[in-house]
C-alpha cells in the first residue's frame, strides 16, 4: 500500500497542530482541500557537523634516541661537511679577501720604503739581511689590463697568496738578466688570470728601488714552445708565469715574455741560485712545509666538535648554536686555509 | 715569430643552438723576412666534442716587424656554457734560417646559456605563482569549510 492510499498517514502528516512539523503551517481557509492531498513527511533539519580542516595537525615529533655509534657517525659526517664547505668558501671567497687585505698592507710597506729609499735592490735588505719570504720588492702595473699589484719575494704557495711572487734565483725586474714573476690564475685574487690576453707590444711597468722599469710584451708561450733567444750582454727580460686552463682546474703553465725598453739596471747580489731554489718555489709546486699547522688546526677543530656535542647535551641546541657557530667556523676556516696552501702555487 | 694568447668575444644570437664566437690572436714577425702562414680555429664542448671549426685562415705576406690580428668567427657554441677554443698557427718550416714549428693557443670561453637561463627563470616564476595561488586559496577554502554555522 502506498502513502497516497493510506488515509491515516495523510491526515497525520497534514495535521497543523503537529509541533514536529513547523514547515507546514495550518491553513484554516481550505482545510478540506489540503487535507485530501497527500504530503511527504519532512524530517527536521539537523545542523551539519563542521568539516575537518584540510591539513590535519602534524603529530608531535618524537626525538629518536641515537646510539653512541650513530652519534659518532653524525659528528664525523658533520665535521667533514663543515670542512668541505669551508674549503670551497675559502678558495672561492675568503682567499680573494685575504689577497685584498694583504695587498693593501704590502702597498703601504713598499711605498714607505720607496719614499725612504730603502726598497730592496738585491736579495737582502738595505741592512744586508736576507729578505724574508713575502717581503714587498716592487709594484707592477699593466695599463691595458688595468692591473696593479705589489710584488713580493718568494714564489711558494704562501707568497703567491699575498700577491705576485718574485722567484728568488732571478734578478729583480729591470736588472741585467732574466727576472721571473709568478702569480695565481684563479684563487687569491687571481692576479695573472688575464695575462694570456696580452698582445705583442703591450706595456708592463715595474717600480723597484731602482726606479720605474718599462717592458714591452714579446708574446706568450706554452711548455714545449720555442723559447726566446738567449739574452745578449747587458739585456734584461721579464717572464710572467701562471696556470692556464679552466679556473681552479689548471692544465698547464702559460708564459709571457717581455723585454726591457727602459734603461737597464745593475743586478743586485743573490744568495739563491737555480740549484738552491726550494722545490716549493717552482711553478705549480705545492708547499708541505706548513703541514704541522694543518695538524694543529685539525686538532683544534676536533676539540671544538667534541665540546660542541657536550654542550648540545648539557645546555641544549640554542645556547650551543650561539656559542659554537663562530668557533666552529673559525676552526673550519683555519683547517681550510692550511689545506689551500697545499694546492699548487699558481692555482 | 711571437704569438699572443687567444682572445674570445661571445655574441649571443636569437637562435639558441647557434651562438657566435669571435676568436682572435696577434702574430708578430720579428724576423727580417716576409712570410705566409695559416691558422686553424676550432671549439670544443665540455666533453671534448667538437662544436665548430674554421680551417686554414690565411695570414698572407706578414712583413718583417709587422704585427697582425688574425681572427675567425665560429658558430655553434649554442647553450654549452663552458667551451674551449683553440687555434694552431702553421708558419713556414723555416724563416730566415730559423726553424719554426706550429704553435697552439687555448682559451676557456663562457657562453651564457640564455635559453636554459630563461627556462629556469620561467620555471621559478611559475612555481612562485603556483605557491602564491595555493596559499591564498587554502585559507579561504578552510574558512568556508570550517565557518559554516548551524
pLDDT single digits (tens) A169-186:
999 999 999 999 999 999
- Range in A54-58, A78-82, A193-197, A300-304 the model is least confident about: A54-58
User: From the candidates B7, B26, B66, B147, which should be mutated to test the interface with A, based on the most A CB atoms within 10 A?
Assistant: B26
The whole-angstrom distance between A249's CA and the closest CA on chain B is: 11
Does residue A125 fall inside a structural domain? Answer: yes
Q: Give the domain extent around A131.
A: 97-281
Nearest CA in chain B to A252: B106
Does residue A17 form part of some domain?
Answer: no
Check whether residue A210 and residue A295 sit in a common domain. no
Report if residue A92 sits inside a domain.
Answer: no
Residue A48 to residue B148, Cβ atoms within 8 A: yes
Q: Which of A47, A54, A200 sits opposite B2 (nearest CB)?
A: A200
pLDDT score for A7: 42
The whole-angstrom separation of Cα A208 and Cα A175 is 10
Q: Domain for residue A106, yes or no?
A: yes
B103 vs A contacts (CB less than 8 Å): 221, 225
The pLDDT tens digits for A314-334 are 998 999 999 999 998 899 889
Co-location of A308 and A254 in the same domain: no
- Chain B touched by A48 (CB under 8 Å): yes
Q: What mean pLDDT is reported for chain B?
A: 87
Q: Which of A199, A223, A229, A241 to probe by mutation at the B interface, max B CB count within 10 Å?
A: A199
**pLDDT tier for residue A22 given thresholds of 50, 70 and 90:** very low
Highest mean pLDDT pick, A36-45, A207-216, B114-123: A207-216
Q: Per the domain annotation, does A345 fall within a domain?
A: no
0.85 surpassed by complex ipTM: no
Distances (CA, A) of A347 to A147, A149, A191, B26: 18, 17, 11, 26
pLDDT at position B144 is: 61
The CATH class of the B2-112 domain is mainly beta
CATH code of the domain covering residue A270: 2.40.260.10
pLDDT score recorded for residue A246 = 87
- Range name among A46-50, A253-257, A286-290 with the lowest pLDDT average: A46-50
Across chain A, mean pLDDT equals 85
Q: Does B61 touch chain A (CB under 8 A)?
A: no
Question: Is residue A47 a part of any domain in this protein?
Answer: no
Tell me how far CA of residue A10 lies from CA of A32, A41, A177, in angstroms: 12, 9, 127
* Whether B24 contacts chain A with CB within 8 A: no
Using the Cα atoms of residue A117, residue A121, residue A125 and residue A126 in order, give the sign of their dihedral: negative
Q: What is the pLDDT of residue A35?
A: 53
In this structure, the answer to whether residues A147 and A262 fall within a common structural domain is yes
Chain A CB contacts of B146 under 8 Å are 50-51, 53
pLDDT tens for residues A86-110?
A: 899 899 999 999 999 999 999 999 9
Same structural domain, A78 and A169 = no
End-to-end CA distance of chain B: 96
CA distance A116 to A104: 18
B36, B59 contact by CB (below 8 A): yes
**Rounded to an integer, what distance in angstroms lies between the CA atom of residue A328 and that of residue A308?**
9
Shortest Cα distance, chain A CAs vs residue B122, angstroms:
29
Is the pLDDT reported for residue A13 higher than 60?
no
Q: Which cell goes with A285?
A: 709546486
- Does residue A8 sit within a domain? no
The strand pairing partners of A24, in sequence order, are none
Same domain, yes or no: A155 and A251: yes
CB contact under 8 A, B26 and A200: yes
Q: Which residues of A fall within a CB distance of 8 Å from B85?
A: none
* Cα(A278)–Cα(A280) distance, integer angstroms: 5
- Residue A155 shares a structural domain with residue A189: yes
Same domain, A276 and A300: no
> For B26, which of A199, A244, A246 is closest by C-beta distance?
A199
Range from A156-165, A263-272, A308-317, B9-18 carrying the lowest mean pLDDT? B9-18
Domain co-membership, A159 together with A308? no
Closest-CA distance of chain B to residue A222, Å: 8
A254, closest residue in chain B (CA to CA): B5
pLDDT reported for residue A20 = 43
**Residue of B51, B30, B54, B23 lying closest to B40 (CA atoms):** B54
Chain B 116-135, residues with CB within 8 Å of chain A CB atoms: none
Q: What pLDDT is stored for residue B80 in this prediction?
A: 85
The yes-or-no verdict on residue A8 having pLDDT over 50 is no
Residue B62 distance to chain A (closest CA, Å):
15
Residue A234 has pLDDT above 60, yes or no: yes
Q: Does the pLDDT value for residue B28 go beyond 50? A: yes
Interchain CB contact of B82 with A (< 8 Å): yes
Res. A337: pLDDT tops 50:
yes
Least confident interval from A94-98, A126-130, B28-32, B57-61: A126-130
**Residue A255 shares a structural domain with residue A294:** no
CA of B115 vs chain A CAs: smallest distance (Å): 23
Above 50 in pLDDT, residue A28?
A: no
Q: Give chain A positions within 8 Å (CB) of B108.
A: 245-247
Does residue B104 sit at the A interface (CB-CB below 8 Å)? yes
* pLDDT grade for A6, boundaries at 50, 70 and 90: very low
Residues A244, B141: C-beta atoms closer than 8 Å: no
Higher pLDDT, A53 or A163: A163
Same domain for A174 and A101?
yes
Task: Work out how many domains chain A is built from and give that number.
Answer: 2
Given strand B82-90, what is the order of strands in its sheet?
B50-62, B35-44, B82-90, B103-110
Interface A–B counts its CB contacts (< 8 A) at 66
Instruction: Flag the least confident range among A75-84, A117-126, B103-112.
Output: A75-84
Q: What is the pTM of this model?
A: 0.78
Same domain, residue pair A103 and A251: yes
Considering only CB atoms, B142 lies closest to which of A54, A199, A219, namely A54
Residues A37-63: pLDDT tens digits?
A: 555 556 677 888 877 777 777 777 776
Which residue, among A187, A198, A185, has the nearest Cα to A256 in the 3D structure?
A: A198
Q: Same domain, yes or no, for A163 and A194? A: yes
CA-to-CA distance for A114 and A109, rounded, in angstroms?
Answer: 9
Whether residue A54 is contained in a domain is answered as no
Amino acid at each position: 500500500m502506498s502513502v497516497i492510499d493510506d488515509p491515516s498517514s495523510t491526515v497525520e502528516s497534514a495535521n497543523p497542530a503537529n509541533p514536529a512539523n513547523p514547515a507546514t503551517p495550518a491553513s484554516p481557509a481550505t482545510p478540506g482541500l489540503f487535507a485530501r492531498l497527500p504530503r511527504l513527511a519532512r524530517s527536521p533539519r539537523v545542523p551539519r557537523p563542521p568539516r575537518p580542516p584540510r591539513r590535519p595537525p602534524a603529530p608531535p615529533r618524537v626525538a629518536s634516541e641515537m646510539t653512541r655509534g650513530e652519534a659518532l657517525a653524525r659528528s664525523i659526517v658533520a665535521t667533514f661537511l663543515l670542512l668541505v664547505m669551508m674549503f670551497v668558501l675559502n678558495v672561492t671567497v675568503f682567499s680573494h679577501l685575504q689577497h685584498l687585505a694583504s695587498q693593501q698592507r704590502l702597498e703601504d710597506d713598499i711605498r714607505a720604503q720607496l719614499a725612504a729609499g730603502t726598497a730592496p735592490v738585491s736579495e737582502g735588505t738595505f741592512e744586508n739581511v736576507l729578505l724574508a719570504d713575502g717581503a714587498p720588492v716592487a709594484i707592477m702595473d699593466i695599463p691595458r689590463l688595468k692591473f696593479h699589484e705589489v710584488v713580493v719575494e718568494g714564489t711558494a704557495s704562501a707568497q703567491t697568496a699575498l700577491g705576485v711572487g718574485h722567484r728568488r734565483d732571478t734578478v729583480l725586474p729591470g736588472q741585467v738578466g732574466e727576472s721571473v714573476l709568478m702569480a695565481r690564475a684563479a684563487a687569491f685574487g687571481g692576479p695573472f688570470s688575464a695575462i694570456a690576453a696580452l698582445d705583442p707590444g703591450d706595456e708592463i711597468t715595474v717600480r723597484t728601488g731602482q726606479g720605474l722599469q718599462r717592458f714591452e710584451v714579446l708574446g706568450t708561450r706554452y711548455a714545449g714552445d720555442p723559447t726566446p733567444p738567449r739574452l745578449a750582454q747587458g739585456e734584461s727580460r721579464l717572464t710572467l708565469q701562471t696556470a692556464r686552463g679552466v679556473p681552479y682546474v689548471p692544465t698547464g703553465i702559460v708564459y709571457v715574455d717581455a723585454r726591457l725598453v727602459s734603461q737597464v739596471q745593475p743586478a743586485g747580489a743573490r744568495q739563491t741560485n737555480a740549484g738552491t731554489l726550494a722545490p716549493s718555489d717552482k711553478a705549480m709546486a705545492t708547499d708541505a712545509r706548513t703541514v704541522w699547522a694543518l695538524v694543529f688546526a685539525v686538532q683544534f677543530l676536533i676539540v671544538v666538535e667534541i665540546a660542541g656535542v657536550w654542550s648540545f647535551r648539557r645546555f641544549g641546541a640554542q645556547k650551543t648554536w650561539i656559542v659554537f657557530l663562530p668557533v666552529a667556523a673559525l676552526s673550519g676556516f683555519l683547517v681550510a686555509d692550511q689545506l689551500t696552501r697545499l694546492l699548487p702555487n699558481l692555482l | 715569430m711571437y704569438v699572443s694568447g687567444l682572445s674570445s668575444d661571445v655574441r649571443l644570437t636569437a637562435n639558441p643552438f647557434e651562438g657566435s664566437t669571435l676568436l682572435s690572436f696577434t702574430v708578430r714577425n720579428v724576423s727580417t723576412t716576409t712570410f705566409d702562414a695559416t691558422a686553424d680555429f676550432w671549439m670544443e664542448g665540455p666533453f671534448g666534442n667538437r662544436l665548430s671549426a674554421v680551417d686554414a685562415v690565411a695570414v698572407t705576406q706578414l712583413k718583417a716587424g709587422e704585427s697582425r690580428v688574425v681572427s675567425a668567427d665560429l658558430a655553434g657554441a649554442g647553450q654549452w656554457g663552458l667551451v674551449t677554443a683553440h687555434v694552431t698557427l702553421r708558419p713556414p718550416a723555416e724563416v730566415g734560417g730559423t726553424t719554426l714549428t706550429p704553435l697552439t693557443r687555448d682559451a676557456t670561453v663562457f657562453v651564457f646559456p640564455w635559453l636554459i637561463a630563461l627556462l629556469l627563470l620561467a620555471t621559478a616564476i611559475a612555481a612562485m605563482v603556483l605557491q602564491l595561488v595555493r596559499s591564498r586559496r587554502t585559507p579561504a577554502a578552510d574558512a568556508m569549510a570550517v565557518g559554516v554555522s548551524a
